[in-house]
Amino acid sequence: MTETTPSIAVRRDDHLLTITIDRPEVRNAFDSATSHALDRALDILDDDPTLFVGILTGAAATFSSGADLSALARGDRPETPGRGGFGIFRRPPIKPLIAAVEGFAVGGGLELCLACDLIVAGSDAVFGLPEVRHNLVASGGGLFRLPKRLPYHLAMEMALTGAHYTSRQLSSFGLITHITEPGQAMAGATELATRLLSNGPTALAATKEIIFRSMGWSEAEAWDKQIPIAARAHDTNDRREGLRAFAEKRRPLWTGT
């Protein structure tokens, strides 16, 4: 299945949904139309029980240069009522989403990566939060998500200098999940997605949600708050299938229900 808007292309391969930002003329920068298109694509991922994992990537060997500043100057804001900025920042998908990064992931492009759960990047990919250079503030989650993924002083340096960093530099601090040869990030992300797809899909979604939400919980709160989320995976056909497959020494056949 392939669905394409002027700015976002969506392709389905069995249980995997690949979403491609397709505005190469502006290095895949986001305007309002692109944000709404990504919002709709993530709804497809969340709402279809037969889709288990997503990959977010960019066309023409670059991920995203962030907000379309020309559109922003015209009053065109890259956000949606449901998911917020870029159609993802405030409410990422409930299912695992992998960023496949080539070229530049700067400004909102880096914040897109931070809204994903795993990041696979080419070795020559470049990341940064250059907003301060334009007297802008990185308000797409970068200023509070980045210090949770990197040492405080490095996150502060990135945000205050607006400097660019390579994927190899950031990988040493754990921000990048896997580094590939240039041009191979999508292949690496697909390989990683295949590993995820061997696992139970309702458990994948519940596991992601608990980890994501627990960043705002105390440990005392977490014991109780994880229970209803985990129950969504346990009270499913897939849990019963997983136990049967284990007993019968075969691969499980997941349905997402």
Catalytic site positions? 111, 131
Backbone angles phi and psi of 130, in degrees to 5: -85, 10
Question: Which amino acid type is present at position 236?
Answer: T
Q: Is 107 left (phi over 0), alpha (psi -120 to 50) or beta?
A: left
Among the listed residues 55, 63, 2, the one whose alpha carbon sits nearest the alpha carbon of residue 30: 63
**Helices H / strands E in the chain, number of each:** 10, 12
Which residues contact residue 195 at a Cβ distance below 8 angstroms, ignoring those fewer than 6 apart?
none
Task: Give the start-end residues of each E strand in 46-152.
Answer: 53-58, 79-80, 84-85, 97-101, 104-106, 118-122, 126-128
Planar angle of CA 215, 216, 222, nearest 5 degrees: 85
Distances (CA, A) of 198 to 19, 202, 252: 21, 12, 8
108 with 125: CB under 8 angstroms? no
13 with 49: CB under 8 angstroms? no
Q: What CA–CA distance (Å, rounded) separates 112 from 89?
A: 7
Among the listed residues 37, 34, 39, 15, the one whose alpha carbon sits nearest the alpha carbon of residue 77: 34
